[in-house]
Amino acid sequence: MNGYNNNNAKRFIACYNMIDTALRVQGDMRRSISYTEAVRRAAKTNSIVRKYEDDLIDFGRLRNAIVHNSKENVAIAEPHDDVVEEYEKIAKLICTPPLALSTVGKDVVSCIEYNVKLIDVIEYGYKSKFSNIPIFKNGMLIGVANGQKIIDVLGKKIYEKQNVEEYMKNTNIEDVIKEFSTDNYYTIADRNVTLDKVLNMFTENRKLLCILITNNGSLLEAPLGIITISDIMDINKVLDNYDIG
């Protein structure tokens, strides 16, 4: 196949081979599985493949037409430049997806200790404009002070006719987050987490609000960055405009 004297055809087939190999390695799939089936299976767990599933299958059919209908290493058809460029972009996204930390991940200005009073956490959130603040106790992450969840707790106190001002002044943030619902609203990822993995996390857990990124994905490490559900639009923009270089 490398003998084709058609440059676009060579580039197109190279993309096919890269993607075919990557899907099988990432999904631990046998060689006997067809390219189309590999795409179908990968789309269930890989957000990038899912996004371009139909295009990938169509491009696979075009590759087969080029390979099986060509003679003497002369491609029967030359894919248009824009088709080849799109396939190359998708190939790079699948094989070397961009890191979340270096694209949409926002810096974590600071963390808060478990014994800080709720009223001070709320003030810090207002000043810093952060709605998800990591809470640590003895060097371990014990939760995330989420703005909406704090409002829910305060709403409950109002409903119960409690003195909200006294509650905010006298209650440690550790005790507040214990009142949050038991939903897995945050998770941890290591510094190498890619955008496709981030999208998968939000897709698999519809109640997930934020992802904290640490060096090794440990609760015992200070966060390097944070990604929230509001960043999904930016993630898609990065993927749509990914520079293949």
> How far is residue 100's CA from residue 193's CA, in Å, rounded to a whole number?
6
Q: Please, what's the b/e burial string for 67-77 (b: 16 or more CB within 10 A of its CB; e: otherwise)?
A: eeebeeeebee
Which amino acid belongs to residue 188?
Answer: I
pLDDT value, residue 1:
41
Give the per-residue pLDDT at 35. 92
Domain 112-240 classification at class level = alpha beta
> How would you write the pLDDT of the chain (245 residues) with one tens digit per residue?
444 446 888 899 999 999 999 999 988 888 888 999 999 999 988 989 999 999 999 999 988 888 765 555 555 567 888 999 999 999 999 999 999 998 998 887 679 999 999 999 999 999 988 899 999 999 999 999 999 999 999 999 999 999 999 999 999 999 999 999 878 999 999 999 999 999 999 998 999 999 999 999 999 999 999 999 999 999 988 888 877 65
Q: Where are the domains of the chain?
A: 7-95, 112-240
Pairing of strands 132-137, 112-113: parallel
Sign of CA dihedral 75, 77, 82, 87: negative
Rounded to two decimals, the pTM is: 0.81
Question: To which residue do tokens 């067809």 refer?
Answer: 34
| DSSP calls for 43-104 | TTT-HHHHHTHHHHHHHHHHHHHHHHT-BTTB-S----HHHHHHHHHHHHHHHSPPBSTTTT
Token pair of 244, please? Answer: 């293949």
Task: Taking the CA atoms of 12, 18, 21 and 24 in sequence, report the sign of the dihedral they define.
Answer: negative
H/E element, 139: none
Evaluate whether 171 touches 117 at the Cβ level (below 8 Å). Answer: yes
- Residues 25-75: tens digit of each pLDDT: 988 888 888 999 999 999 988 989 999 999 999 999 988 888 765 555 555
From 96, 101, 98, 102, select the one nearest 26 (Cα to Cα): 96
